[in-house]
């Protein structure tokens, strides 16, 4: 079948009444998650994984997986839309990729142009979402066909590249990111080994024979971690919320924003495709590019609408771009796509080159639903901007008990095991302590998801060659991936070392 036939079949799945409801609920919750400072898309998606398993109970395995991923993906790109609201109105980013939006968005709000800034952010997000989806439609099949030619050695090296890419760009310290990656890989080894049948790190406890459940770890680290942070640090939203006046932008605003939106969409998409680069990097690059090519760079930081249009377009395009390596290669491009990948694996759907052949209903249903979801977001965000702005005022005493209840009931409903509830609390405390000390959580999740797959592919490669490790460097594609992985880690270290050396010489 052609791409158009696959996409048509995807729309047949996405337009089923229950999936339309899931898409709408997903983008609505996602927008709210983006608006609430501190929660972020990773926490929102992790929190709703157990909810999807109860909502889709009774459906066939394929239908349940399609509905669940449609809802979770809606939360993901909905949060990217919503993150701009607090950045513009409160000068507080809803999530990390909206940090750049505060520079000009809040200044526009102080000048009485909050409505125009929010509308341009919504329009830019919509255009960027469509651009990245069109690219996903046409790139998904060729990339899957290319990946089908990979052997276990190539897959092992590709997954190592994925880990190095995220570790190299996560947090302020590469050392801490690498520590978290290794910790995630170690957690992935707990349980009975599938090949030898040997129990590893179980301490003779039958409850650990199946290994640690991804769902419990993800919900604990992200959702419950934010709860502990809010309670222990007594977080409050301080600052004056700017008033939203006229909602729709003027013709001049649209004219000034058109080119930055187009450039931000393209740049964001290509950065998003790179494993580990993520939406935050895309928004920073996009902002810097606009400032560099602008005829009036002095306007930036003082309420330039281009400074809102470009980064908001870039971070939404990057979120769409990050879906490509996750769906076609089985390599999550960001922490949130790692959680989405873990959710698919929970439903016995393995992301990767065979996804589009074995589970076309899930893959193309998701892509089609993202077109529908982006349209829903534009319709929701433009007229309801003032309503979403009021979500910022939600008191913690109402919000935190809801998050705790969903976390506990959700994990117990899926696992039906009290051990997982204790593990959930431990992971929540660990999530808070690690984040407080600037240990990034995304590499841990990625290590946990990719660890078993890295091990399986390494074993398959070594079994085929009788234990000859040279297979990983004698296969050209495998060697290329390993060289890129090494460069991803070493180049920032070399640049940092050279920078320090130059500084010492100047001081000397």
pLDDT, one tens digit per residue, over 484-497 is: 888 888 887 787 77
Pick the closest to residue 349 from 64, 86, 129 (CA basis).
64
Mean pLDDT computed over every residue of the chain: 80
Instruction: Report how far apart, in Å, the C-alpha atoms of 127 and of each of 118, 199, 265, 313, 316 are.
Output: 14, 51, 7, 7, 9
What the block records as the tokens of 150 is 């990979």
Distance of CA 55 to the CA centre of its chain: 23
Which region, left, alpha or beta, applies to residue 332 given φ > 0 means left and ψ of -120 to 50 means alpha?
A: beta
What the block records as the tokens of 1 is 């079948």
Count of residues making up the chain: 508
What are the tens digits of pLDDT across the range 346-404? Answer: 888 888 878 888 888 888 899 899 899 888 888 877 766 666 666 666 677 777 887 78
Residue 242 pLDDT class (50, 70, 90 cuts): low
Cα–Cα–Cα angle for 306, 92, 431, nearest 5°?
Answer: 125
Q: Locate all alpha helices (DSSP H) within 56-95, ordered by sequence.
A: 61-90
Residue 442: which residues within 8 A CB-CB, separation 6 or more?
A: 42, 166, 170, 334, 335, 338
Q: Alpha-carbon torsion 286, 291, 293, 299, what sign?
A: positive
Mean pLDDT on 23-50: 79
- Give the whole-number percent of the chain exceeding pLDDT 70: 85
Lowest-confidence segment of 81-85, 240-244, 274-278, 456-460 by average pLDDT: 240-244
Q: What is the pLDDT of residue 186?
A: 92
Q: Is 14:369 a contact under the CB 8 Å cutoff?
A: yes
Return the higher-pLDDT residue of 331 and 308.
Answer: 308
Residue with tokens 């013709």: 251
Whole-angstrom Cα distance, residue 113 to residue 404? 37
Q: What is the pLDDT of residue 37?
A: 59
Mean pLDDT on 306-334: 83
Q: Is residue 231 scored above 80 in pLDDT?
A: yes
Residue 371: which residues within 8 A CB-CB, separation 6 or more?
A: 11, 14, 130, 133
What the block records as the tokens of 132 is 């990245």
Pick the closest to residue 126 from 313, 387, 337 (CA basis).
313
Q: Is residue 171 scored above 60 in pLDDT?
A: no
Q: Is residue 167 scored above 80 in pLDDT?
A: no
Pick the closest to residue 169 from 273, 274, 74 (CA basis).
274
Give the distance between the most distant pair of CA atoms in the chain.
72
This prediction has a pTM of 0.72
Q: Is residue 288 scored above 70 in pLDDT?
A: yes
Q: Is 222:43 a contact under the CB 8 Å cutoff?
A: yes
Instruction: Report how far apart, in Å, the C-alpha atoms of 356 and of each of 16, 129, 135, 319 are.
Output: 20, 21, 16, 20
Q: What is the pLDDT of residue 61?
A: 77
Q: Is 109:121 a contact under the CB 8 Å cutoff?
A: no
Q: Locate all alpha helices (DSSP H) within 36-173, ordered by sequence.
A: 40-55, 61-90, 101-110, 114-147, 152-169
Whole-angstrom Cα distance, residue 319 to residue 323? 7
Residue 333: which residues within 8 A CB-CB, separation 6 or more?
A: 272, 273, 274, 275, 276, 277, 278, 321, 322, 323, 324, 325, 326
Q: What is the pLDDT of residue 430?
A: 93
Q: Alpha-carbon torsion 79, 276, 268, 478, what sign?
A: negative
Pick the closest to residue 453 from 220, 157, 50 (CA basis).
157
Cα–Cα–Cα angle for 110, 116, 120, nearest 5°?
Answer: 125
β-partners of residue 191 are 200
Q: What is the pLDDT of residue 460?
A: 87
Whole-angstrom Cα distance, residue 500 to residue 502? 5
Pick the closest to residue 391 from 81, 45, 20, 103 (CA basis).
81
Query: DSSP secondary-structure letter at 190?
Result: -
Whole-angstrom Cα distance, residue 471 to residue 23? 44
Return the higher-pLDDT residue of 132 and 442.
Answer: 132
């Amino acid at each position: 079948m052609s791409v158009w036939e696959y996409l048509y079949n995807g729309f047949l799945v996405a337009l089923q009444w229950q999936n339309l409801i899931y898409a709408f609920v997903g983008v609505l919750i996602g927008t709210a998650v983006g608006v609430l400072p501190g929660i972020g898309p990773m926490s929102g998606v992790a929190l709703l994984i157990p909810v999807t398993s109860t909502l889709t109970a009774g459906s066939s395995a394929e239908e349940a997986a399609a509905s669940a991923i449609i809802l979770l993906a809606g939360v993901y790109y909905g949060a990217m839309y919503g993150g701009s609201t607090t950045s513009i109105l409160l000068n507080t980013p809803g999530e990390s990729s909206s940090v750049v939006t505060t520079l000009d968005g809040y200044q526009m709000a102080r000048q009485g142009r909050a409505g125009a800034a929010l509308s341009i952010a919504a329009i830019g997000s919509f255009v960027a979402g469509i651009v990245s989806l069109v690219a996903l439609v046409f790139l998904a099949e060729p990339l899957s066909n290319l990946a089908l030619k990979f052997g276990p050695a190539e897959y092992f090296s590709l997954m190592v590249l994925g880990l190095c890419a995220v570790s190299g760009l996560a947090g302020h310290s590469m050392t801490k990111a690498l520590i978290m990656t290794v910790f995630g890989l170690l957690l992935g080894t707990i349980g009975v080994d599938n090949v030898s049948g040997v129990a590893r790190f179980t301490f003779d406890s039958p409850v650990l024979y199946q290994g640690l459940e991804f769902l419990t770890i993800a919900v604990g680290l992200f959702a419950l971690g934010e709860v502990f942070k809010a309670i222990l640090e007594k977080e409050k939203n301080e600052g004056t919320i700017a008033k939203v006046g006229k909602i729709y932008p003027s013709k001049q605003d649209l004219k000034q924003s058109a080119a930055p939106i187009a450039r931000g969409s393209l740049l964001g998409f290509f950065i998003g495709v790179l494993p580990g680069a993520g939406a935050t990097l895309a928004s920073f690059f996009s902002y810097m590019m606009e400032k560099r090519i602008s005829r009036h760079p002095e306007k930036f930081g003082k309420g330039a609408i281009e400074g809102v249009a470009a980064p908001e377009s870039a971070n939404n395009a990057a979120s769409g771009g990050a879906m490509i390596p996750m769906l076609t290669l089985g390599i999550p491009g960001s922490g949130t796509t790692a959680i989405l990948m873990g959710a698919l694996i929970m439903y016995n759907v393995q992301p990767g080159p065979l996804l589009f052949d074995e589970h076309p209903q899930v893959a193309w249903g998701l892509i089609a639903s993202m077109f529908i979801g982006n349209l829903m977001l534009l319709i929701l965000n433009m007229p309801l901007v003032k309503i979403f702005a009021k979500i910022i005022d939600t008191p913690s005493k109402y919000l935190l008990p809801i998050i705790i209840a969903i976390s506990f009931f959700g994990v117990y409903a899926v696992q039906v095991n009290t051990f997982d509830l204790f593990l959930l609390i431990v992971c929540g405390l660990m999530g808070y302590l690690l984040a407080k000390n600037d240990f990034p959580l995304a590499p841990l999740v990625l290590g946990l998801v990719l660890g078993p797959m890295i091990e399986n592919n390494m074993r398959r490669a070594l079994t085929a060659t009788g234990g000859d490790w040279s297979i990983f460097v004698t296969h050209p594609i495998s060697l290329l991936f390993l060289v890129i992985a090494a460069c991803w880690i070493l180049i920032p270290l070399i640049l940092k070392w050279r920078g320090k050396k130059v500084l010492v010489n100047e001081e000397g």
